[in-house]
Amino acid sequence: MSNRYLFTSESVTEGHPDKVCDQISDTIIDTILAQDPHSRVAAEVVVNTGLVLITGEISTKANVNYINIARQKIAEIGYVDADNGFSANSASILVALDEQSPDIAQGVDSAQETRQESSDEMFDKIGAGDQGLMFGFACNETPEMMPLPISLAHRIARRLAAVRKTGELSYLRPDGKTQVSVAYEDGKPVGIDTILISTQHAPSIGDITDDAGILAKIKEDLWSKVVEPVFGDLELKPDSQTRYFVNPTGKFVVGGPQGDAGLTGRKIIVDTYGGYSRHGGGAFSGKDPTKVDRSAAYACRYVAKNIVAAGLAQKCEVQLSYAIGVAKPVSILVETFGTSTVDEQVLLELVQENFELRPAGIIHTFNLCNLPSERGGRFYQDVAAYGHFGRNDLDLPWERTDKAELLKAAASQKQPTAIA
């Protein structure tokens, strides 16, 4: 008897209040690191009706106009009409920033290994910016090695923003959410059970002014302009049994920061694997790469993806944990859910031998402090919406599978009968 179940993941558009905050926070990161790669940044943003608050702890030599950064990003997202209760030009922007605590700084700038063991190893010279645990995941359900539900939810959310920005559906507004439920049998996706789209819209569409007529128009347009194009190149598509919901309350005119307050770091499941994998609890946006909540989560994804790309497992989850001020991970765990072609102890040895997992090593491997200046000033802000992983539209260093062949060859030497 087959094991059938549903799994659901959601995404949000760049105009969702929480995502507005994430993007402002990460634009601050890009701007600061482009001028001063050694900066320490923890930038938090709050938005509400007509209000932006930028707070946190920043130590930098960069000269930054935080108010201009916020206004430019808000306009880019699409909030340019004051009638919506939140606009780039009319919002009040408050800035309340401190410097990084010296107690934290001494552990980041000089790791315990350096202080206690007089290590000359370059990667021992930066300690983790905090304690904590991080997870990374990869699977073979999609070409980008992401779980199918979150991959589809992101695709729909990005398409929703695209048809708004091009004017194809000019009545759409920036705020929106998507959700996809995928049917699985014996761990494999076999059907699209439910598609849900909630999108902010204008009070009227042409000469259509009644709520029922507006909803019917939006539902029809989203199917033809958003859903069908998203599934056009995919083998698994919606069918007659797929449930399709649009704006289930019947109306979504008041949205964005006018409808809900937003906070940096409140969409951690959207940012990662849609709940399909475990999460350590730490957010990414607004944090410089010495914060292992961010950099080590990227490293976990890199390790897991290369293991799957090497054919050593169909699914792989990697956990790292750190102590504040200490460079080396406290623990490393590799979990393959019974899908590996080699013993998991062998995989753990391969990870320890082939991946640099100290904060300075991760920063060096991915060039995380210099990327903004190399990419026209944009890097972290581009992953602050639509997910930090599985982004084939961006050349992200942690998405590369450049160690897959190395791992495959090394695994065959450790366990030669296990690799075909």
Q: Give the residue numbers annotated as catalytic, written as ranges.
A: 16, 18-19, 44, 57, 177, 252, 260-261, 266-267, 287, 291, 293
CB atoms within 10 A of CB 211: 14
Supply the angle between the helices 292-309 and 359-366 in degrees, to the nearest 10: 60
**Which single residue is written with the structure tokens 């054919």?**
311
Question: In whole angstroms, what is the distance from residue 96 CA to residue 51 CA?
Answer: 13
Alpha-carbon torsion, ordered 341, 347, 351, 353, to 10 deg: -110
Whole-angstrom distance, CA of residue 148 vs CA of residue 276? 9
Per the CB < 8 A criterion, the answer to whether 399 and 389 are in contact is yes
Contact call for residues 333 and 307 (beta carbons, < 8 A): no
Max Cα distance, the chain (Å): 75
In 247-365, beta strands by DSSP E? 262-263, 315-322, 331-335
For β-strands 262-263 and 40-48, DSSP reports them as antiparallel
Dist CA 40 CA 58 (whole Å):
6
Rounded to 5°, angle at Cα 155 from 184 and 311:
55
